[in-house]
Amino acid sequence: YSDPHCAPGRDTVVHLFEWKWNDIKAECTRFLGPRGFCAVQVSPANENAVVTNPNRPWWERYQPVSYKLITRSGNEQEFRDMVQTCNNAGVRIYVDTVINHMTGGYSGSGTAGDHFDGNSCSFPAVPYSNLDCNAGDVCHSSDGSIQNYNNPEEVRNCDLVGLKDLRLSKDYVRDKIAGYLNHLISIGVAGFRVDAAKHMWPGDLEAVFARLHNVDSNTFGSGKKPFIYQEVIDMGGEAIKMAEYFATGRVTNFIYGVKLADIFLRHTNQAKWLGSWGSSWGMPNTNDVVVFLSNHDNQRGHGGGGAPITFFEPKQLKIGTAFMLAHPYGFPRIMSSYHWNRNIQGGDDANNWAGPPHNNDMSTKSVTINADMTCGNGWVCEHRWRQIYNMVAFRNVVSGTGVLNFKSYGDQQISFSRGSKGFIAIVADGSHLNQNINTNLPSGNYCDVISGNYENGACTGKTIHVDSNGNAHINISGTSDDPVVAIHVGAKV
Ligand code: ARE
Ligand code: CA
């Protein structure tokens, strides 16, 4: 389950959080395909509870009502069009799947118009009934919800924040979930993010995944299992460990973004130590993880998982992303967000619920594209920032090479090469780097893909000269907007 099924030479996934299927379809052809992205993580595709208090929060999509493909992102036909178009553009679709639970304990209707009553675990559009949710026979917490994260039984058998917990020990429930995932596989998706995986027994997940069909052989080759990455928040302090989930796919490595925020955002740790970055930092092996600086929860102070770097700190985000994409550890995911008005009250963001940009009827706004390639209508589109998409290409070019010549020039100044294909230098604080550095690259003139684009053999930014010994003069002011230089053999002028 740990092969992401990237088309050859691609290696980065972007989370197009809350995007509509039609917009993702367009983005695959006009941008993600040509720019070398491997895949898109899309928001949950199945019917969810319509929450009106607060009004249409993003998190309503984590409250399933049925497995019909009807949400604010679009309907099944639009979903199919997106998957097919993206596959044709060489871009994979991973669906965020919510299979641990259904809605909270109240009644209402879903985005496909189906009625539900969470209190009695009544979801007739699946159908699930009272027998399909966990109850007091297996959940022993005082109120049926999870209180103690150090008690694995409670974490797996009780309700996560009051969300009706599915009885995954039952074959009927396993069949229904596998039926939903197989439906997505039949449409052509490459894999799944498994929401709240920590709240399901690894053995139950095995039983569900054993029921899955192979992914489409025409697109992905024959005999291939879907790519599976499981959301397990394990910062080291709780009973449940990431390692329990390696048999059923990769896990989301939450330690990663926090440690990099310590260095690039808070400066409570030093970049000079990054020479050993990877599993020796107390993180799993590279092939067991998806790595990211932030996700849709912790970017808004939600859901634990630490305080990461987000688009609210654009300079640090560009630096951190450059490091993430230049370094071979893990399968990297970029967060692509929408704007909301942050309103910090006593440490919490009072607007952390705010849903995507919307019209008066609460339908999600389309993504518009500005002349400079950035997005409008309230969409941030971090993946369209030059410093970020050019590093996606960098990662593709240096693929298969290791980290070479890691050097530091003070606490927060580093450089390293990727074999003889790429070189990066980073200043993580306000200091000044001015050095002759061996890049290990063939001699020539290279386009610094941070300060500019490589277009038709020319560079719109700085050109870096590498001499016949592989040396280059690198001059970076840490107080500049982009204190990074990145060059690779795919962008020689
Ligand atoms: C909403 C309301 C709740 C209400 C509930 C039911 O906010 O007040 O009780 O509905 O009516 C998201 C939101 C939730 C939201 C939910 C459903 O974040 O606020 O609840 O959608 O609409 C734990 C889990 C981890 C989970 C986080 C949020 O382990 O899996 O909590 N993350 C995923 C998603 C979320 C999503 C869900 C799961 C639910 O990414 O977006 O919730 O589908 C420590 C622990 C962590 C723990 C963390 C927070 O760090 O180590 O394991 O994370 O604390 O408790
Ligand atoms: Ca559970």
Domains of the chain (ranges, CATH numbers): 13-252+338-379 (3.20.20.80), 402-488 (2.60.40.1180)
pLDDT at residue 233 is higher than 80:
yes
How many CB atoms lie under 10 A from the CB of residue 363? 12
Ligand 1 site residues (CB inside 6 A) read: 59-60, 62-63, 98, 104, 149, 160-163, 195-196, 198, 231, 233, 238, 297, 302-304
- The one-letter code for the residue type at 230 is Q
Asked if the model's pLDDT at residue 305 lies above 80, the reply is no
Nearest bound ligand to the CA of residue 299? 1
Host H or E run for residue 204: helix 202-209
Q: How far is the CA of 254 from the centre of ligand 1 (A)?
A: 15
pLDDT at 58: 98
pTM for this structure? Answer: 0.98
Specify which residues 96 forms β-bridges with: 193
Residue 319 pLDDT = 98
Report how far ligand 1's centroid is from the alpha carbon of 250 (Å): 20
Average pLDDT rounded to a whole number, residues 44-63: 98
Banded model confidence at residue 464, pLDDT cuts 50, 70, 90: very high
What would the mean pLDDT of 170-182 be, rounded to a whole number? 98
Any idea what DSSP says for residue 405? E
The per-residue pLDDT for 306 is 76
What totals of helices (H) and strands (E) does the chain contain, helices first? 9, 24
DSSP state of 216: P
Please enumerate in sequence order all residues whose Cβ is within 8 A of that of 371, keeping only pairs 6 or more positions apart, or say none: none
CB within 8 Å of 112: residues ≥ 6 apart: 47, 65, 66, 68, 70, 125
Which residue's CA is minimally distant from atom 7 of ligand 1?
59
As a whole number, mean pLDDT of residues 400-422 equals 98
pLDDT category of residue 212 using cuts at 50, 70 and 90: very high
Give residue-wise pLDDT tens across range 6-52.
999 999 999 999 999 999 999 999 999 999 999 999 999 999 999 99
Q: How far apart are CA 493 and CA 456, in angstroms?
A: 9
How many C-beta neighbours within 10 Å does residue 337 have? 23
Ligand 2 midpoint to CA 134 (Å): 8
**Whether pLDDT at 167 is above 80:** yes
Residues with catalytic function: 195, 231
Expressed in angstroms and rounded, the spacing between residue 139 Cα and the centre of ligand 2 is: 10
Q: For residue 235, is pLDDT > 90?
A: yes
* pLDDT in the model for residue 303: 80
Residue 232 corresponds to which amino acid?
A: V
Atom of ligand 1 nearest to the CA of 196: 30
What gap in Å lies between CA 421 and CA 78, rounded to an integer?
40
Report the C-alpha gap between 104 and 95 in whole angstroms.
22
**Position in ligand 1 atom list of the atom nearest CA 118:** 11
| pLDDT score for 304 | 79
ipTM of the complex: 0.98
The sign of the dihedral angle between the CA atoms of 95, 66, 162, 249 is: negative
Torsion of CA 3, 6, 12, 15, to 10 degrees: -90
pLDDT reading at 161 higher than 80: yes
pLDDT tens-digit readout, 278-304: 999 999 999 999 999 999 999 999 887
Range 320-348 average pLDDT: 97
* Ligand 1 atom showing the smallest separation from residue 98 Cα: 43
Q: pLDDT per residue over 361-406, tens digit each?
A: 999 999 999 999 999 999 999 999 999 999 999 999 999 999 999 9
Residue 73, both tokens: 């992102």
As a whole number, the mean pLDDT across the chain is 98
pLDDT-derived band at 468 (thresholds 50, 70, 90) equals very high
